[in-house]
């Protein structure tokens, strides 16, 4: 699973962005956060699974990690 950091998260829209170790941008929606809270802090290290949705790459199955 790729590792990155949450670079942005808008709790009102439920949209965020993860930057991976290679500098790639991974948009995500709050429903992809596995702990069910639908919220995450900016700067948190996360693991995620890449997914193609509606023809675009995005992060799914997001969970905080001690790695990174």
Indicate the SS3 state at residue 30: helix
* C-alpha distance from residue 56 to each of 25, 27, 53 (Å): 12, 9, 5
CATH number at residue 29: 2.40.50.140
Helix (H) or strand (E) holding 4: strand 3-10
Tell me: the pLDDT tens digits for 15-39?
Answer: 999 999 999 999 999 999 999 999 9
Which structural domain range is residue 42 located in?
A: 3-64
What total of structural domains would you count in the chain?
1
Q: What is the pLDDT of residue 42?
A: 98
Instruction: Give the integer Cα–Cα distance in Å for 24 and 14.
Output: 20
Q: What is the pLDDT of residue 1?
A: 87
pTM attached to this predicted model: 0.91
């Amino acid at each position: 699973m790729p590792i990155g950091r949450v670079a942005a998260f808008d709790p009102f829209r439920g949209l965020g962005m993860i930057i991976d170790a290679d500098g790639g941008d991974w948009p995500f929606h709050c429903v992809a956060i596995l702990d069910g809270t639908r919220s995450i802090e900016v700067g948190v290290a996360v693991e995620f699974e890449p997914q193609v949705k509606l023809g675009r790459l995005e992060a799914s199955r997001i969970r905080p990690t001690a790695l990174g």
